């Protein structure tokens, strides 16, 4: 049995994961975090009697219950402290929360290695997003210029999305930017060219009517390739990947980004 503490267990993504954990026979939810529902049994909040774990108002309180894996699914402003607290208590960590920076992950990596624990951070747990990343990496090996666009609903607080951040970081490892016109030579407001992440331009759209999508546009003279992923409105696509991360994170030491760190993508 893998004992899990789930921070954000009552949220849109966390509650779907909690309900799925209730139906596994190798993962057990031993503690949950949500400020609104602190003091209640998670099963009462989610109407799932198999979930007997108590809900705590903070990760520190929840971590008083020993766990093997801490799952972070709250908000960017609390995620970093929660992850560091879990590592200090000796738990491995799965990070679903988006919005952490490369600098945050560098600090977390230092603590994780000191503790000999694994941190698996996935901006998106959906298998189709892992494929987007892989296909984009293949394209980037052949096409030297691209930009990323991330689309989301108007109340998504973090920008760019975790998916876009992870994509930018991965593609930057394939090659360094080669813009035709350097950004500081832009005529007009520099901001309209988007933010520079890991050397590449990323643009975030936040409007009602969107769910979550990520797009990479690769441009070459007189031709272009667009690779795009669209999520539906439920949190179901993230469940299987999150369960896989929970089952595999103890095989890692330090920070690993992306589900493909533990997924065999070789064709059979
Ligand atoms: N990696 C992926 O595949 C994936 C998929 C979906 C979402 N996400 C990311 O996961 C995060 C959560 O998204 P969501 O849509 O599920 O958000 P949500 O519905 O707002 O849920 C947030 C959860 O975190 C808890 N929470 C928030 N702030 C807290 C705090 N300061 N202390 C303790 N608990 C706190 C909330 O409970 P209380 O308000 O009661 O405290 C709630 O249970 C976001 O960063 C989102 O971008 C990632």
Whole-angstrom distance, CA of residue 268 vs CA of residue 259: 19
Q: What is the pLDDT of residue 263?
A: 86
Q: Is 69 left (phi over 0), alpha (psi -120 to 50) or beta?
A: beta
Q: What is the pLDDT of residue 29?
A: 98
Span 121-132, average pLDDT: 92
Confidence band for 162, pLDDT divided at 50, 70 and 90: confident
Q: What is the pLDDT of residue 268?
A: 59
CA dihedral (46, 49, 54, 57) in degrees, to 10, reads 10
Q: What is the pLDDT of residue 155?
A: 94
Q: What is the pLDDT of residue 186?
A: 92
Is residue 94 within 8 A of residue 236, CB to CB? The reply is no
Is residue 21 within 8 A of residue 13, CB to CB? The reply is no
Question: Ligand 1: residues within 6 Å at CB?
Answer: 7-14, 33-37, 58, 73-76, 78, 96-99, 122-125, 162, 235, 238
User: In terms of Cα–Cα distance, which of 196, 198, 202, 232 is closest to 217?
Assistant: 202
Res. 246: pLDDT tops 90: yes
Q: How far is the CA of 244 from the centre of ligand 1 (A)?
A: 19
Span 156-174, average pLDDT: 92
Hey, which of 11, 29, 239 would you mutate to test ligand 1's pocket, going by the most ligand atoms within 8 Å of its Cβ? 11
Rounded to whole angstroms, the maximal C-alpha distance in the chain is 61
Confidence band for 123, pLDDT divided at 50, 70 and 90: confident
Instruction: Give the distance, in angstroms, between the CA of residue 9 and the centroid of all CA atoms in the same chain.
Output: 16
Is residue 60 within 8 A of residue 81, CB to CB? The reply is no
% of the chain exceeding 90 in pLDDT: 88
Q: What is the pLDDT of residue 255?
A: 98
Res. 266: pLDDT tops 90: no
Q: How far is the CA of 14 from the centre of ligand 1 (A)?
A: 7
Confidence band for 48, pLDDT divided at 50, 70 and 90: very high
Q: What is the pLDDT of residue 205?
A: 98
Burial degree of 8 (CB within 10 A; 0-12, 13-18, 19+): buried
Res. 264: pLDDT tops 80: no
Res. 117: pLDDT tops 80: yes
> Which residues does 215 contact at the CB level (< 8 Å), separation at least 6?
148, 149, 150, 151, 226, 227, 228, 229
Res. 6: pLDDT tops 80: yes
Q: How far is the CA of 134 from the centre of ligand 1 (A)?
A: 27
Confidence band for 198, pLDDT divided at 50, 70 and 90: confident
Confidence band for 64, pLDDT divided at 50, 70 and 90: very high
Whole-angstrom distance, CA of residue 92 vs CA of residue 152: 30
User: In terms of Cα–Cα distance, which of 185, 162, 168 is closest to 72?
Assistant: 162
Instruction: Write the residue with the smallest CA distance to atom 7 of ligand 1.
Output: 13
Q: What is the pLDDT of residue 267?
A: 60
**Which stretch of DSSP H or E encloses residue 110?**
helix 102-115
């Amino acid at each position: 049995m893998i004992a899990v503490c789930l921070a954000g267990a009552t949220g849109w993504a966390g509650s779907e994961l909690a309900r799925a954990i209730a139906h596994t026979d190798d993962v057990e939810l031993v503690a949950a975090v949500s400020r609104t529902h602190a003091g209640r049994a998670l099963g009462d909040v989610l109407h799932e009697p198999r979930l007997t774990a108590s809900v705590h108002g903070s990760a520190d309180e929840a971590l008083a219950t020993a766990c093997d894996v801490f799952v972070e699914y709250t908000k960017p402003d609390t995620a970093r402290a929660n992850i560091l607290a879990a590592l200090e208590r000796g738990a491995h960590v799965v990070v679903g929360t988006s919005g952490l920076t490369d600098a945050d992950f560098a600090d977390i990596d230092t603590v994780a290695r000191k503790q000999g624990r694994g941190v698996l951070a996935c901006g998106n747990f959906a298998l189709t997003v892992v494929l987007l990343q892989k296909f984009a990496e293949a394209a980037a090996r052949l096409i030297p210029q691209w930009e990323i666009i991330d689309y989301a609903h108007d109340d998504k607080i973090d920008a760019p999305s975790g998916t876009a951040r992870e994509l930018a970081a991965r593609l930057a490892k394939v090659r360094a930017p080669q813009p035709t016109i350097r950004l500081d030579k832009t005529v007009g407001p520099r901001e309209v060219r988007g933010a520079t992440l890991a050397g590449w331009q990323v643009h975030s759209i936040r409007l009602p009517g969107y769910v979550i999508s990520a797009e990479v546009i690769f441009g070459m003279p007189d031709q272009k390739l667009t690779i795009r992923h669209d999520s539906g409105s439920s949190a179901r696509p993230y469940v299987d990947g999150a369960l896989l991360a929970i089952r595999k994170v103890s095989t890692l030491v330090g920070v690993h980004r992306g589900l493909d760190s533990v997924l065999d993508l070789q064709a059979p």
